[in-house]
Amino acid sequence: MTDQPTIAVSHLGCEKNRIDTEHMLGLLVEAGYAVNNDEDLADYVIVNTCSFIQAAREESVRTLVELAEANKKIVITGCMAQHFQSELLEELPEAVALVGTGDYHKIVDVIRRVETGERVQEVSAHPTYLADESVPRYRTTPEAVAYLRIAEGCDYGCAFCIIPHLRGKQRSRSIESIVAEAKQLADQGVQEIILISQITTNYGLDLYGRPRLADLLRALAQVEVPWIRVHYAYPTGLTPEVIAAFQETPNVLPYLDLPLQHSHPDILKAMNRPWQGQVNDHIIERLKQQLPEAVLRTTFIVGFPGETEAHFQHLCEFVQRHGFDHVGVFTFSPEEGTAAYALNSQVDPAVMDARRDRLMALQQPIALRQNQREIGKVVNVLIEQENPATGQLLGRSARFSPEVDGWVYLRPSPQGQAASLGTMAIAKITDADPYDLYGHIATAADLMADPQQSP
């Protein structure tokens, strides 16, 4: 198949987008196409775009414009293709195809049609597609890490969020399908599987009539992978049954990514999340009691329309009170098509930026304190990078998720175990800053000094 065109893929956006990219790559490779990272040599460049917030759209647009100026034939896929179909086709004559979020599995057919001279627009108005373990996948993450999508779409109507419009209604995979793919990943040497969806704690509601995250976690206990991490756990879905599953499933990490967005009941009501304002404090305290080793990560939006200084101070006090391990802060981005787009009382962008900076500054000493609690511990670290010149190793402990959290920097130890990329190493933590941990490969003396802390 030497006459097949060469294709490069540019991935933008979140890990859900990443999985779509990986499936497109898998399908193209299976069909015999040459796929590489060199856009200069490619006949076509697939750009899997993000349209979640303005900053993401701007990055996508910059990428598209740069490729257009280089006279590349562009296949636009993902959220921007779903969101701005006519605009993209009109503004970018170099775009030879648009592929929506529910149509990426048609990528081979799209390329074949483009090769005949057709300008293809393959965008379903209401995405329904959901890939399973049978769909080819070419992973783009480090060898030892993989994201595993357990559901797609969302039935919630948060006032600031465009995702239901771009990704469709929630549709869950079966427990059997998810476990089958997890076993495939384990067979490939994956050491960490990260479960993702728009609302992970709602997993199974559409398929089984009730959320079944607890059942899924227990089923994943049979998969021989050391770490299973859960992202996007909405607080109201952290029922006693789900918490029990965290407690009882050895390879499920006590790491919870809680997209709380705000703390003040008035703002949460305006966000169309009124239920959350009544339960935030209660659920977080219960989590700390029942999962005392839990690592809590959350994200907040500042500058939502109508947010006053008093609302913001409420949020600051909330962050101080609960001492989250990791916090991400975003400024409100008005998205056309969402309920918040036309709300009155928009907050000045300069005020939003200042509030974001203040909240992140407030979080820094909290994050430092949480990281300093790791000093002296002996922990497992998944090794992901190595500096050949110095021998320094970079990895992550269980308290750090890829890309959004920090690193563990490790010095090699002459008496320590060998450590190679993609494997778990046992390390002694000796120092910390607000974002990262530092240490060395553990020696026998380290393990003997405090065997209770050994992994």
3-state SS of 339-366 is CCCCCCCCCCHHHHHHHHHHHHHHHHHH
Handedness of CA 272, 277, 282, 284 (dihedral sign): positive
Which three-class secondary structure state does DSSP give residue 186? helix
Q: Tell me what pLDDT residue 377 has.
A: 95
Q: Tell me what pLDDT residue 453 has.
A: 53
Q: Extract the tokens encoding 140.
A: 């783009």
Q: Extract the tokens encoding 438.
A: 């530092």
Question: 306 and 268 in contact (C-beta within 8 Å)?
Answer: no
Alpha carbons within 13 angstroms on the beta-carbon side of residue 401 total 26
Strand segments, DSSP code E, in 100-160 are: 120-122, 145-149, 151-152
Q: What's the rounded Cα separation, in Å, for the pair 203 and 310?
A: 35
Q: Tell me what pLDDT residue 438 has.
A: 97
158 is annotated as contributing to ligand binding? yes
From the list 208, 18, 189, 168, the residue with the least C-alpha distance to 216 is 208
pTM of this structure:
0.92
14 is annotated as contributing to ligand binding? yes
Q: Tell me what pLDDT residue 450 has.
A: 66
Q: What's the rounded Cα separation, in Å, for the pair 308 and 74?
A: 44
Residue 446: count other Cβ atoms within 10 Å of its Cβ: 24
Alpha carbons within 13 angstroms on the beta-carbon side of residue 66 total 11
Q: Tell me what pLDDT residue 1 has.
A: 44
Q: What's the rounded Cα separation, in Å, for the pair 260 and 322?
A: 13
Q: Tell me what pLDDT residue 213 has.
A: 98
Q: What's the rounded Cα separation, in Å, for the pair 291 and 284?
A: 10
In a 10 Å sphere around its CB, with 0-12 CB exposed, 13-18 middle and 19+ buried, how is residue 162 labelled?
buried
154 is annotated as contributing to ligand binding? yes
Q: For each of the chain's 455 residues, which pLDDT tens digit applies?
A: 457 889 999 888 788 889 999 999 999 999 999 898 888 888 999 989 887 667 777 788 888 888 888 888 999 998 888 988 888 888 888 889 999 999 999 999 999 999 999 999 999 989 999 999 999 999 999 899 999 999 999 998 899 988 888 899 999 999 999 999 999 999 999 999 999 999 999 999 999 999 999 999 999 999 999 999 999 998 888 999 999 999 999 999 999 999 999 999 999 999 998 777 777 788 888 888 999 999 999 999 999 999 999 999 999 999 999 999 999 999 999 888 889 988 889 999 999 999 999 999 999 999 999 999 999 999 999 999 988 878 889 999 999 999 999 999 998 766 656 688 899 999 999 999 999 999 999 887 878 776 555 45
- Angstrom CA distances, 203 to 180, 217, 231, 233, 357, stand at 17, 11, 12, 10, 34
Q: Tell me what pLDDT residue 337 has.
A: 83
316 is annotated as contributing to ligand binding? no
- Angstrom CA distances, 397 to 44, 321, 390, 437, stand at 39, 25, 21, 9
